[in-house]
Structure 1
Amino acid sequence: MRQFTAVVNPTAGDSTGAAALLRIARLLREAGAELETEYSRSLAHAQEIAVRAGKQGRIVLAVGGDGIAGGIGGALSGTGTTLGLVPAGRGNDFARALGLPADPADLARILLTGDPRHVDTIEVESAVHARTVVLGSVYAGVDALANRHANEARLLRGAASYYAGGLRAVATWRPASFRVTVDGQEHDCRGYTVVAANSRYYGSGRAIAPEARLDDGQLDVVMIHEAPRRLFFAIMNELKTGAHVHRPEVQVLRGREIRIEADRPVPYGADGEVEAALPVTARVRPGDLAVLC
């Protein structure tokens, strides 16, 4: 029977991480699995716990949102340790991309009997973060600003916090001139944002890269060029379905290594946690993480 170490972000989803784990823990233990629980003090502490548990041959459960999932998944990338997710955050976009069920009984069944699937991860390199590995996406421009506003929201949760953060960010955004290098080929983009996506989802279920696949060895690069603000708000609404990629203002490329630069200080983020300023380089690490799904 499987042995699990659950690493809980106690502040995820307004403190729902522990509650989400309780429902799963009972089902795992009733089935005969061994489960120990650790509460993290910080993302770095969560990563330390996960790596130590992996060295002991245990399956690591990341309990929380995309931040702790990406942080722990990045730390376990290339180690051979299997990762399981118990979604309990604002967005849960990587869990969504994996197709994980919301029902606790169905999720427990996957954790107990599911076969590990090897998925890609993203190595992120910049002047601030020497080398960090994340799971979902790296985004630069208005998206990073919107994510910051969403994380600061106190009264809103889930998609509402991201939508409100997006409205606030767009209202004050000045188009930037990006230089995006995809596998050595340069592309210019003056506009709102550039996203290097491993997962199709970000921002609590918005399909920024609808054709992205977790195990194809490539990143989908989505560039949203300059447009009137009213049109950008329409594009934001189309992110729900992925229809935005058919607009002429949206350009989609694909590659293994992406470098994003800008003509002025522009923020970037990754998996809701890494926050710094361009330039940044994102490289795919094919099949580097085993995940139960």
Structure 2
Amino acid sequence: MTREITLLVNPTAGRGRGAHAAQPAARALRDAGFPVRTLVGEDGLDALRRARAAVDGGTEALIAVGGDGLVSLALQAVAGTTTPLGVIAVGTGNDFARALGLPIRDPARSGRLTARALERGATQGVDLGRVGRKWFGTVLASGFDSRVNDRANRMRWAGGRFTYDLAMVAELAALRPISYRVTLDDRPPRRLEATLIAVGNGPSYGGGMRVCAGAKLDDGLFDVTIVADCTRTTLLRVVPRVYRGTHLNHPKVTVHRARSVTLEAAGVTGYADGEPLGPLPLTAECVRGAVRVLTGG
């Protein structure tokens, strides 16, 4: 007998798309013969508690219906277990789904592909980053980009994308180099002045910004993108190229590969999958095949 499928839903994802997306996704799974239970937490901690209970209770799969924030929460429940993760990507960024080649903002098609994967047992082993007990799927950001996040989070009077645009303008005005101490694997630590350092398990963050364009989800390594100390003018020239990944050819940008990365810097917060991890220093480890993802068969 087929075990129950659990849909973990963020009703506010993608400006309300999450609540609407759960219906066609659930319908596609039920049409394929799978019993479906929907979980909506009162807050993040409650949603995580419910998701972990479902995994511990033997759910056939945990399906995240939302954006990268909800996928990040789901990863905390399924990483290191045999329970596969499905992704119905209806958020604003959707970078984890994008890296896997899954549909974006098409919940009915995503539901059908997820059902087909369940029928065929089609899963893909995917690496995850781990910082302490926290897992992440896409990029750990630090420096200019994380300071934009910090500032946006403090701007309670604004909202939406406008908040981040204002925060970016403000951070550009306050642009200054950051003194980092960086350790890659067992290599000697390096001290350097940089604008930002991004540790990529996947290639993109922020809705398609390919900051670590060469990163792969199944090679057991991070791509570490370092943007050296640069002027406002140079940064403004580099940022538009990030969407194409061509910034990696800029002389101010270098890329390194490592299984373990330690970042140390004063006054810098680390963000992973768009969620705050806490202040540096932080050590990230790439854990190969940490989660099984339903890929569509």
TM-score normalised by L of structure 1: 0.90
- In the TM superposition, 1:143-162 aligns within 5 A as 143-149=145-151, 155-157=159-161
The one of 211, 225, 241 equivalent to 2:244 is 241
**Counterpart Cα distance in 1 of 2:168 and 2:273:** 16
Q: Deviating runs (4+, > 6 A) in structure 1?
A: none
**Counterpart Cα distance in 2 of 1:60 and 1:2:** 12
Partner of 1:25: 26
Judged with a 3 Å threshold, the aligned counterparts in structure 2 of structure 1 residues 105 and 65 are, in CA distance, closer, same or farther, namely closer
Structure 2: give runs of 5+ residues left out of the alignment: none
Judged with a 3 Å threshold, the aligned counterparts in structure 2 of structure 1 residues 190 and 36 are, in CA distance, closer, same or farther, namely same
**Counterpart Cα distance in 2 of 1:148 and 1:67:** 16
- How big is each residue's C-alpha offset from its partner over 1:79-102, in whole Å with a ceiling of 9 and x where there is no partner? 111111111222111111111113
- How big is each residue's C-alpha offset from its partner over 1:110-142, in whole Å with a ceiling of 9 and x where there is no partner? 2111211110111113xxxxx211211211111
Partner of 1:54: 55
- How big is each residue's C-alpha offset from its partner over 1:162-181, in whole Å with a ceiling of 9 and x where there is no partner? 55543333332321111110
**Counterpart Cα distance in 1 of 2:44 and 2:252:** 37
Partner of 1:138: 140
Deviation of residue 254 (structure 1)?
A: 0.5
**Counterpart Cα distance in 2 of 1:248 and 1:121:** 29
- How big is each residue's C-alpha offset from its partner over 1:237-277, in whole Å with a ceiling of 9 and x where there is no partner? 00010001111111100000000001x21121111112421
Q: How many pairs does the alignment contain?
A: 285
The answer to whether the Cα contact below 8 Å between 2:22 and 2:107 also exists between their aligned partners in 1 is: no
- Quick one: which amino acid aligns to residue 122 of structure 1? G
**Counterpart Cα distance in 1 of 2:12 and 2:166:** 21
The one of 68, 80, 101 equivalent to 1:99 is 101
The answer to whether the Cα contact below 8 Å between 1:47 and 1:71 also exists between their aligned partners in 2 is: yes
Partner of 1:123: 130
SS, match of residue 216 in structure 2: coil
Judged with a 3 Å threshold, the aligned counterparts in structure 2 of structure 1 residues 172 and 275 are, in CA distance, closer, same or farther, namely farther
**Counterpart Cα distance in 2 of 1:223 and 1:98:** 24
Deviation of residue 161 (structure 1)?
A: 6.2
* Structure 1 stretch displaced more, 242-251 or 96-105: 96-105
Deviation of residue 67 (structure 1)?
A: 1.3
The answer to whether the Cα contact below 8 Å between 1:162 and 1:204 also exists between their aligned partners in 2 is: no
Deviation of residue 188 (structure 1)?
A: 2.9
**Counterpart Cα distance in 1 of 2:63 and 2:4:** 10
What is the root-mean-square deviation in Å for CA atoms of aligned residues? Answer: 1.9
SS, match of residue 142 in structure 2: strand
Judged with a 3 Å threshold, the aligned counterparts in structure 2 of structure 1 residues 99 and 45 are, in CA distance, closer, same or farther, namely same
SS, match of residue 274 in structure 2: coil
The answer to whether the Cα contact below 8 Å between 1:70 and 1:136 also exists between their aligned partners in 2 is: no
- Quick one: which amino acid aligns to residue 182 of structure 2? V
Partner of 1:128: none
The one of 179, 182, 205 equivalent to 1:180 is 182
The answer to whether the Cα contact below 8 Å between 2:25 and 2:112 also exists between their aligned partners in 1 is: no
The answer to whether the Cα contact below 8 Å between 2:90 and 2:107 also exists between their aligned partners in 1 is: no
**Counterpart Cα distance in 2 of 1:12 and 1:105:** 16
**% identical equivalent positions:** 36
- In the TM superposition, 1:6-45 aligns within 5 A as 6-45=7-46
